[in-house]
Each structure stands twice: as C-alpha cells, then as structure tokens.
Amino acid sequence: MLSRTSYQRILRLGFPFEVLNRDLRLIFASNLIGSFGDGLYSYLLPYYMTKNLNATAVEVGILYAVVSLVAASTLLLAGMLADRYDRKKIMIAGWIAWIPAPLIFSFASNWVQMLPGMVLWGFWLGGPTTTAYVVTTADKKQLTLTFTAISSAWSVGYIFSPALGGYLAGTMGMQIVFYSAFTFYALAAFFLTFVQSQKAEGYTQKSSKEQYSLLKLLRTRELLMFSAFFAAIMFVVMMFRPFVPEFLGDVYHYGDFEIGILGSISFFGSAVLGILLGRLGDKWKKSYALSISMALCSFTLILLLIFNSFPILTIAFFLTGGSYITWSLMSAIIGPSAPESVRARWVSIPQTISMFCSFVAPYLGGILYDISPQYLFITAIAATALMALLVSLTKN
C-alpha cells in the first residue's frame, strides 16, 4: 500500500499544474484547444495539396517555405509590440491571425490560392509574447516546469487530433475539417480574453528606450551568445526531423497508419518528458534539462537506425518526444536573463535568429538524405550528442 505522502508525490509528478496560476492555466487551455484544432488538418495538409489541388512537391515546398519565412519575420515584430503594448492583446492577435487561414484553405481551388492562408498561418505573434508573459507572472523557482507544462498543452492537443482529422476527412470531407479548425482557433482566442492584461514595466521611459534599442540589444554579448547557441540547436533538430517519417516509409516500409501512430507516441512522450525535465531543470539547472533533451534525441536516433522493430520504435519515439520541448527549455533559460522593460524583444532576437537558421536546415538534411538516409542520421546523432555535452557545461 502506498502511503499518503507517496500518493501525493505521484499526483504532483503526473499533474504539475499547481505551478500554474489562473492566467497561466487559461494560456494552457488556449494552447490545448488551439493545438487540437491545428492538428486536425496540419498533418493532412501536404497530402490535401497534392491530391486535391494537384500541387507538385516543389509547389508544396514553396508554400511551407512561405510559412517559415513569415514566422521568422513576425517573431521580432511580436517582441517589439509586446514590449510597447498590452501583451494579452498581442497573444490574442496571434490566434486571430490564424482564424481565417483554414477558411482560406477550404475555398482554395489551386495551390496559389493557398498562399494568403499560409501567410496568416505563419504569423507567430505568440512566441516571444507568451514567453515574456510567463516569465513575468510565473514563480521563478519553478519556471522551467511552468514552461514545459504550458508546452505540454500543444503536445496533448496533437496526440489525437490528426487521427480525428483523418477520420472526418475520409467520412465527411476536408471542408468540415477546416471549419472545425476555424472554430477551435476562435475558441483559443476567446479563452485568452479572460487573461489579465500585462504591460512591460519601464519601457515608456525615454532612458529605457535608449538603453535597450534594437541595435544595442543586437550588440549585447550575452544575447548574441544565446542566439548563436540556440540557433545551432534548432538547426540540428530541424535538419533531420522532417525526414524521420520518410525514413520509416522508404527504409522500413511502414505505412501511413504506423507512421501516424509513432507520431502520436512522440507527442505523448513530449507531454510526459516535458514535465519530468521541467522538474529536473528547476531542481538542478535548466541547462541539465536541455542537455538531457539533446542526449535523448541522439539516443533515439541510434535506436531508429539499428532497429526495425515496431515495439522498440514505440519506445524510441516516446523518448524522442523530449526533443519537442527544446523551444520551451530555451525560453526558460533566455527569459529570466532579459530586462523586464524589453523582455519580449530580448527573447524575440534569439528566437528569430533560430527560426531563420532552421529554415535552411531541411535543405542540408535533404542533400544528406539523398546521398544516404544513414548519413543524415549519423550526422544528427553526432551533432545532438555534441550539443548535449556543450549545453551541460553552461552555467544556467
């Protein structure tokens, strides 16, 4: 029999939401609802473009390149707006920008007509804004767990929604899927209307504006170090991640169903491991949590290369979920180092640089994959292991 103390510890391990105050729980709920809507069609969208709109692989690539470029461009804009205006309104605006996207997709009759929707889908106003909001309002002693708990909302939302989206598309058509996503996006924005307003303290002062101008921030040694380091991590992760499903199909000859199951397991692993690594980061060091995340990534890629066994791959994909919380762990490390008056702008700089670097990473990954799939993953194994070592040596 478990003692009462042991039972309470298990509950705290599985349900870490005591670290979230009312506003952070609303943000969690918003992310959960919005990500569920996003997952309804995001997994199916490339297939829909190819089969229903007769888009070529190059045209699909162009559309997704537009999303990445817009996302990278809007991060810095979001940081500037979030330091000047109410951060709550900027977070809501991030969801509002997404709301029309699935409607545009539903009316598109060719790939060119998808472009306006892809542009809106790329607006990522919530990235630095949410980071700044969380850092300001959260308990600083449990900041890593707070970030990973909020991030787990995205993972949980993506566990079941792709399968449901596929079922709805097969039985009722993609139109109902797009309309459902539209509804969930609107609900995500609605939930944020109940969050308390938050403005950056001290930004309106002239001295603060001059001291923390964008050019001066770009010359800040600490910020440049963060930017270079995290850009390297994101580059490595995005170099191989798009090719994992392709590897499963090309080399191990798995079908869509098996690949989809493994993808869901990855998101489940992200939710569970995010909580565990969040607790570890708060108890020891945030960099340790990020280092373990990278080490798990390297280890799971080794399992992927060696074993063509579905039971072993389920374990590997569960563990690889640890690499999905990299962005949250980076936010937990970068956020507290920023001055409150320009926290969102400070955070947006390494996020923007990381996004631009990760934009070209799949191109290199594609070259290596064309030479040999094994070359790509061997390179990724070595790179993620090196990143794990370097991160463990940092002071944060």
Q: Which of 199, 177, 223, 243 is nearest to 353 (CA)?
A: 223
Lowest-pLDDT range, 8-12, 60-64, 123-127, 134-138?
Answer: 8-12
Question: Does any domain span residue 48?
Answer: yes
- The per-residue pLDDT for 182 is 95
Structure tokens at 201: 């303290």
- The per-residue pLDDT for 8 is 47
- The per-residue pLDDT for 213 is 58
Distance CA 68, CA 361 (A): 12
Question: Does any domain span residue 201?
Answer: no
- The per-residue pLDDT for 11 is 41
**Average pLDDT, stretch 51-80?**
81
Per-residue pLDDT band for 13 (boundaries 50, 70, 90) equals: very low
Q: DSSP per residue over 198-218, as a string? A: ---TTTTSHHHHHHT-HHHHH
Per-residue pLDDT band for 174 (boundaries 50, 70, 90) equals: confident
Q: DSSP per residue over 225-237, as a string? A: HHHHHHHHHHHHH
Q: Are 126 and 133 in contact (CB under 8 A)?
A: no
Question: Does any domain span residue 33?
Answer: yes
Burial 58-75 (b: 16+ CB within 10 A, else e): ebbebbbebbbebbbbbb
Structure tokens at 55: 């888009």
Distance CA 74, CA 308 (A): 41
Q: Is the pLDDT of residue 1 over 70?
A: no
- The per-residue pLDDT for 107 is 93
Amino acid letter, 348: S
Structure tokens at 123: 């607006």
Burial of 316 (0-12, 13-18, 19+ CB in 10 A): buried
Q: Is the pLDDT of residue 221 over 80?
A: no
- Mean pLDDT value across the chain: 82
Q: Is the pLDDT of residue 210 over 80?
A: no
Question: Does any domain span residue 4?
Answer: no
Q: Is the pLDDT of residue 39 over 90?
A: no
Q: Is the pLDDT of residue 345 over 50?
A: yes
Q: Are 335 and 132 in contact (CB under 8 A)?
A: yes
**Which of the two residues, 340 and 189, has the higher pLDDT score?**
189
Per-residue pLDDT band for 6 (boundaries 50, 70, 90) equals: very low
- The per-residue pLDDT for 212 is 57
Whichever domain contains 145, its CATH number is: 1.20.1250.20
Q: Is the pLDDT of residue 172 over 50?
A: yes
The helix/strand/coil state of 44 is coil
Distance CA 264, CA 266 (A): 5
Per-residue pLDDT band for 165 (boundaries 50, 70, 90) equals: confident
Tokens 């570890």 -> residue = 280
Q: Is the pLDDT of residue 357 over 50?
A: yes
Amino acid letter, 161: S
Q: Are 295 and 386 in contact (CB under 8 A)?
A: no
- The per-residue pLDDT for 211 is 53
Helical pair 326-334 and 343-371, crossing angle rounded to 10 deg: 150
The helix/strand/coil state of 393 is coil
**Which of the two residues, 93 and 17, has the higher pLDDT score?**
93
Count of structural domains, the chain:
1
The DSSP code for 19 is: G
Which structural domain, as residue segments, surrounds residue 343? 19-192+212-392
The helix/strand/coil state of 61 is helix
Question: Does any domain span residue 8?
Answer: no
Kindly report, residue by residue over 119-160, the tens digit of the pLDDT.
Answer: 999 888 887 888 888 888 887 788 888 888 888 888 888 888
Q: Is the pLDDT of residue 2 over 50?
A: no
What percent of the chain is predicted at pLDDT more than 90? 26
**Which of the two residues, 219 and 62, has the higher pLDDT score?**
62
Question: Does any domain span residue 238?
Answer: yes
- The per-residue pLDDT for 93 is 92
- The per-residue pLDDT for 287 is 83
Question: Does any domain span residue 297?
Answer: yes
- The per-residue pLDDT for 217 is 67
Per-residue pLDDT band for 205 (boundaries 50, 70, 90) equals: low
Lowest-pLDDT range, 60-64, 103-107, 275-279?
Answer: 60-64
Question: Does any domain span residue 197?
Answer: no
**Which of the two residues, 348 and 380, has the higher pLDDT score?**
380
Per-residue pLDDT band for 204 (boundaries 50, 70, 90) equals: low
Structure tokens at 54: 């007769």
Q: Is the pLDDT of residue 277 over 80?
A: yes
